[in-house]
Structure 1
Amino acid sequence: MSFEELFSTFQGNKWRKIGIKKKSGICTPLFSVYSSESTGIGDFNDIKKLVDFCRSINATILQFLPLNMCGMDNCPYNAVSSFAIDPIYISLSSFSYDGLICPDRLISDLRLSFVSGKNNRCNYSVREEKLRILRNIFNKVIDTVKSDISFALFVRDNEYWIDEFAVYRVLKNIHNNAPWYEWEDFFANVNHEKIEDIRYAYNKDILFEKWIQFICFQQMASAKRYANDHGVLLMGDLPVLVSKDSADVWAKRELFNLNYSAGAPPDMYCVYGQRWGMPIQNWDIVKKHDFRYIIEKFKFSDNFFDMMRIDHVIGLFRIWSIPIDDPVENQGLNGVFIPSDEGIWKQHGSEILHVMNENSNCLLCAEDLGVIPDICPAVLKEFGIPGYDVQRWKKRYGYDYSFIPSSEYRQSGISTLSTHDTSFWLEWWRNEVGTVERELIELKSRIYNLDSRDLIERLFESTINKSDRLKWKKEINSVEKLCDTVDRKVEEIRDIVEIYLDTFDEKNKLKTALNILDDNNEIDCLKKSFEFIYNSSSIFRINLLPDIMCLDKDIAKKISHLRINKPGTTSQNNWSFAFEQPLEDFNKSSALEKIQECIPDII
């Protein structure tokens, strides 16, 4: 699809507004950055500093992971509300309400107690301390809050969700943060009459929760105005799912099917599939309510974003659903697609996308990775919704498995080196390219009734890298040699053959694609990779901020082996990555000049 053809898609009016000039951008979790003015973690005021950084590298898109309030696992895709913003991002240094500000002494003490970026981790524990400070301020201004017209309008405009959310938050506190399904029946199973009774009994606490959301709203809206005034578009991220322990599920139970846990089927990169734990949507009931649940999400997010990434867009067509009573250790192995009828997938997904498109001012983009149903690309093209082209997965599958030149990427697409679910590019280059995950080979061995230890000894080098990944022996230099070595025909080990074709000699294929003649300097190789992306045919080129900052060799030493999230794992290292340097230091980094050299003048 050419750029001009975007005007004739369902998103044509949005494309006319944004324009079809190629744009570059950066993507970062807000929790991964901080400044000299923030406390423990990045905040809404830091978005303005990120905008300034964008301008310094000629980037005009700033993309975030979801900013919704998180639960105990701090996963932004497992939020406790599809609407409410996480108050951890409130900027205390720029806070002001009714003439009151947060005292400098308190902020200074907070910075000493909750150090930002220490050991390359953010500090989620600062959330409760921020709320304690804000509660003290709220107690002083409560009469003003009650008479604040702007606050009253905010509550009125968000009546669909904010009352239920505030009550849920208060009940969570009363129950020591236990999930709603462990509460006594009176609180766990609510109706509107019960909610009214609870509101009356806990009126002040509920008012505080609403006021906190009002402060989040004001600060985030201010960040958007600043971005737009400086020529930068903000891109949000809309999770398709929400936590089982959420205000949404607690108060709107009928919209969810609690008999299944959403996930993803097994693939080469996650051998047992994924089980995310969130319930799937009851789309028939959502539709019966005229899709208001979806419409209200976009109505709220329009206040903060110009573009919106729809997470796991393929889940709108059909979603991998694991029976809730299937043992957790099976992860995503025993799921099924819902709806099960492949014949209705296109209509199912298209109808939901129409609702989203018609009720949002944002340009919709789609995370269309994973096992893609055949009908999905055509539907996204019809809507003019850009999908993702990730360098490490763009290959000529079924042919020679070489990397596709970036000049052949989708024009109506978003090209990138990495995602929040992958390793950073340098780690991939060092330890993953041309290797296979041991677990994957062990799983395939069981499927094909092969001895995994014997298979690994026959096919792979004896040394194993720190990531427990296997490297093919050089002498296994053809499919014929592979089959002879394991004494099987191609059709008997089809998946192993496919893995071999995808990974054997992969690094040399990458070097050819990037025109790398000397790979001794890995920073130069990373720079070549950026040049590859920035010269792609994609209308948007959006790269992870950690990948960009790895162009600075000193920063690369600290962070290149880290990652934002590893799917299929539960770890404190997930969703906690943070730079040790404050944002103010980014402009002093050698990465700045290197990335500027990569970006062509046409952007």
Structure 2
Amino acid sequence: MYHKPSLDERTSGVLLHPTSLPGEGGSGDVGKQAYHFADFLAASGQSWWQMLPIGPVDGSGSPYNSYSAFAGSDLLISLEDLCAQKLLSRADLEAVKLPQGIVKRSVKRVFYDKVGARRRELLGIAFERFQKNLNRNQKLSKQYSAFCREEAHWLEDYVLFCALKDVHDQEPWWTWERELVTRRAKALAEAKEAYAERIAYHTFIQFVFHEQWMKLKVYCNKKGVGLIGDIPIFVAHDSSDVWAHTDLFDLDKDRLPREVSGAAPDAFSDEGQLWGHPLYKWGKHKKTGYAWWIDRFRQTFKIFDAVRIDHFLGFARYWSVQYSAKTARHGKWKKGPGEDLFVALRDAIGEMPIIAEDLGILTPQAARLRDQFGFPGMRVLQFAYGEDDSYHAAHQHSKQCVVYTGTHDNDTTKGWWKEICRKHRADKKAMKLKSEKIAKRRRVSVSSLNGEAKWLTEKERTLVCLGGGGEEIHWDMIRAGMGSRANLAVFPAQDLLGLDEKSRMNVPGTIENNWCWRLESGALDQEVAHRLGELTKIHGRSSGS
């Protein structure tokens, strides 16, 4: 019997998306290296493995722009496991050359277009052999049939959607023939018959993904490690979810969004952020008893032990922008479903281990919604040292929160520190000018201002709070997170290794070179596990303690 971790316990974990794992498949997957990482987590006393959304992605690789809120990515399927099942051979892998050892600026990366195309070639070979096995293996046939039956509520629409994407050269669904766009019963029936082979292929992909994923989850859980997933509040327009449920989204007669998602202008962006997702018809969702949301969360909790809700603030209020707008500057606030949705979810599913991503402008309404259901919010130490009494500073943390050194949207801690050090001289100059202006206005000398003339730069405040000279700033920050009152502390794998900005996962507002960082094989070695484990034990966060 293993100890199942809880968000209410004092624990810690590591943030690493599976595509970032090393291995021979051109992209990290749920094969051998995933098990090695689970072993590392257990050896270092970690209770959680946090990751990004795991749905199927396009060539950009963005896990936040998936074709489905329910399906798994074919990039995460272990080709080695398929070899073990004799669905692939080593000769197959050697014949279809997967991009290996492609290094850019000394950092290994995933090249999604190349990797995706070559992996799918191999998965096609595996599918053909699977079909033959299915006809003569009664046990496999029963497992496959049970999967199709249990997942039919989302699977049937998804695999048809994928088959139609294939025959339409991956064009968006709203550009297809009108009968398919509007889902006329006759057109759908004819498509199912005409593209039965493609439908079977995509069903196979989801079956294999599910089998491999659940095997990994069981292994992690037996090691005392829980999996934390990620639910983005919005879904992509070009997704099976929107195509199959157009009545739940605010679309016009051509199935284009009337308004789209975004973030309001703030101190970081005068134009705001234009995300572009279609918006929900919350009134329609309420009339259905939030059935789609219940299905979505129920599916998520099948494959994860806890989940982070991305942009939790949007359930209280969200920024709505006209579809034709070039920026998010002239959007408007609209009211979200609030407690109504979470009451329905709780009534259907029970208590849910949820982390509320509450970064940004936290309104009283969003804070009340988070606290009403006991969801821990997030604190990020990279935001903690820029001003006095920061909301993110460790002395401000409550038990009911999750502390991070940084998230997937932040620079690595070493990259962040390099930028803080670069700004230090400019900050000192600005503070000197500020002191001189105050002294001039008061007609006194700068030295007579006493403490008022001794403002600290962000670099100086960081060093005062963390101690030391910043030589190992990543471990200083990890130590601060470990010592926080927060029940859960999570650290990106890059910070365990002191990697710089070249290993950053994502730069918000940009498209190129995101989501593609990969871990070097063997980098998370026994030395790192020991150092992390000692800090974990000292701070009372060890798995099962």
TM-score (norm 2): 0.86
Q: Which amino acid aligns with 1:44?
A: V
Q: Which residue of 1 aligns with 2:364?
A: 374
CA distance in 2: counterparts of 1:203 and 1:128, whole angstroms = 21
Retained in 2: the 8 A contact 1:262–1:276? yes
Q: Which residue of 2 aligns with 1:333?
A: 329
Q: In the TM superposition, what is the alpha-carbon distance from 1:427 to its structure 2 partner?
A: 1.3
Q: In the TM superposition, what is the alpha-carbon distance from 1:188 to its structure 2 partner?
A: 2.3
| Alpha-carbon distance change, 228 to 17 in structure 1, aligned in 2, over 3 angstroms | closer
Retained in 1: the 8 A contact 2:7–2:353? no
| Alpha-carbon distance change, 526 to 403 in structure 1, aligned in 2, over 3 angstroms | farther
Match status 1:100 vs 2:48: no
Q: Which residue of 1 aligns with 2:100?
A: 115
Q: Which shifted more, 193-202 or 592-601?
A: 592-601
Q: In the TM superposition, what is the alpha-carbon distance from 1:535 to its structure 2 partner?
A: 0.5
Q: Which amino acid aligns with 1:196?
A: A
* 2:49 partner SS: strand
Match status 1:21 vs 2:16: no
Retained in 2: the 8 A contact 1:403–1:513? no
Match status 1:64 vs 2:12: no
Match status 1:81 vs 2:68: yes
The gaps in structure 2 that reach 5 residues or longer are 251-256, 442-452
CA distance in 2: counterparts of 1:414 and 1:234, whole angstroms = 15
* 1:543 partner SS: strand
Q: In the TM superposition, what is the alpha-carbon distance from 1:47 to its structure 2 partner?
A: 2.5
Match status 1:363 vs 2:353: yes
Q: Which residue of 2 aligns with 1:553?
A: none
**Deviation sequence 1:96-125 (CA, Å, 0-9, x none):** 69x533202223455x53115633211322
CA distance in 1: counterparts of 2:120 and 2:377, whole angstroms = 38
**Deviation sequence 1:442-486 (CA, Å, 0-9, x none):** xxxxxxxxxxxxxxxxxx95xxxxxxxx885342335965998xx
Q: Which amino acid aligns with 1:43?
A: D
| Alpha-carbon distance change, 473 to 290 in structure 1, aligned in 2, over 3 angstroms | same
Q: Which amino acid aligns with 2:505?
A: I
Q: In the TM superposition, what is the alpha-carbon distance from 1:194 to its structure 2 partner?
A: 2.5
Retained in 1: the 8 A contact 2:4–2:226? no
Q: Which residue of 1 aligns with 2:417?
A: 429
Match status 1:41 vs 2:27: yes
Q: Which residue of 1 aligns with 2:183?
A: 190
Q: Which residue of 1 aligns with 2:517?
A: 577
* 1:42 partner SS: coil
Q: Which amino acid aligns with 1:197?
A: E
Q: Which residue of 2 aligns with 1:464?
A: none
| Alpha-carbon distance change, 116 to 264 in structure 1, aligned in 2, over 3 angstroms | farther
Q: Which residue of 2 aligns with 1:314?
A: 313
Q: Percent identity?
A: 23
CA distance in 1: counterparts of 2:176 and 2:285, whole angstroms = 26
Retained in 1: the 8 A contact 2:87–2:130? no
CA distance in 1: counterparts of 2:263 and 2:524, whole angstroms = 37
Match status 1:527 vs 2:517: no
| Alpha-carbon distance change, 483 to 298 in structure 1, aligned in 2, over 3 angstroms | farther
Retained in 2: the 8 A contact 1:57–1:596? yes
Q: Which amino acid aligns with 2:98?
A: S
Q: In the TM superposition, what is the alpha-carbon distance from 1:271 to its structure 2 partner?
A: 4.3
Q: Which residue of 2 aligns with 1:515?
A: 467
Retained in 1: the 8 A contact 2:413–2:474? yes
Q: Which residue of 2 aligns with 1:390?
A: 380
Q: In the TM superposition, what is the alpha-carbon distance from 1:132 to its structure 2 partner?
A: 1.9
Q: Which residue of 2 aligns with 1:477?
A: 434
Q: Which residue of 2 aligns with 1:230?
A: 223
Q: Which residue of 2 aligns with 1:323?
A: 322
Q: In the TM superposition, what is the alpha-carbon distance from 1:435 to its structure 2 partner?
A: 4.5
CA distance in 2: counterparts of 1:235 and 1:78, whole angstroms = 19
* 2:262 partner SS: strand
CA distance in 1: counterparts of 2:517 and 2:125, whole angstroms = 30
CA distance in 2: counterparts of 1:474 and 1:280, whole angstroms = 45
Match status 1:568 vs 2:506: no
Retained in 2: the 8 A contact 1:406–1:533? yes
CA distance in 2: counterparts of 1:471 and 1:171, whole angstroms = 60
Q: In the TM superposition, what is the alpha-carbon distance from 1:246 to its structure 2 partner?
A: 0.9
| Alpha-carbon distance change, 141 to 511 in structure 1, aligned in 2, over 3 angstroms | closer
Q: Which residue of 1 aligns with 2:239?
A: 246
| Alpha-carbon distance change, 479 to 271 in structure 1, aligned in 2, over 3 angstroms | farther
Match status 1:218 vs 2:207: no
| Alpha-carbon distance change, 472 to 218 in structure 1, aligned in 2, over 3 angstroms | farther
Retained in 1: the 8 A contact 2:320–2:331? yes
Q: In the TM superposition, what is the alpha-carbon distance from 1:220 to its structure 2 partner?
A: 0.6
CA distance in 2: counterparts of 1:42 and 1:277, whole angstroms = 28
Q: Which amino acid aligns with 2:28?
A: G
Aligned residues: CA RMSD: 2.8
Retained in 2: the 8 A contact 1:262–1:280? yes
CA distance in 2: counterparts of 1:402 and 1:248, whole angstroms = 39
* 1:529 partner SS: helix
Q: How does 1:106-505 map to 2 (within 5 A)?
A: 106-110=92-96, 113-115=98-100, 118-119=103-104, 120-124=108-112, 125-142=114-131, 144-145=133-134, 148-257=141-250, 258-327=257-326, 330=327, 332-339=328-335, 348-360=337-349, 362-394=352-384, 400-401=388-389, 405-432=393-420, 435=423, 461=426, 473-478=430-435, 481=438, 505=457
Q: In the TM superposition, what is the alpha-carbon distance from 1:251 to its structure 2 partner?
A: 1.8
CA distance in 2: counterparts of 1:211 and 1:577, whole angstroms = 28
Retained in 2: the 8 A contact 1:392–1:417? yes
* 1:276 partner SS: strand
* 2:490 partner SS: strand
Q: Which amino acid aligns with 2:536?
A: I
Q: Which amino acid aligns with 1:87?
A: D
* 1:160 partner SS: helix
Q: Which amino acid aligns with 1:369?
A: L
Q: In the TM superposition, what is the alpha-carbon distance from 1:191 to its structure 2 partner?
A: 3.3
| Alpha-carbon distance change, 388 to 283 in structure 1, aligned in 2, over 3 angstroms | same
Retained in 2: the 8 A contact 1:527–1:595? no
CA distance in 1: counterparts of 2:490 and 2:17, whole angstroms = 13
| Alpha-carbon distance change, 190 to 599 in structure 1, aligned in 2, over 3 angstroms | same
Retained in 2: the 8 A contact 1:527–1:594? no
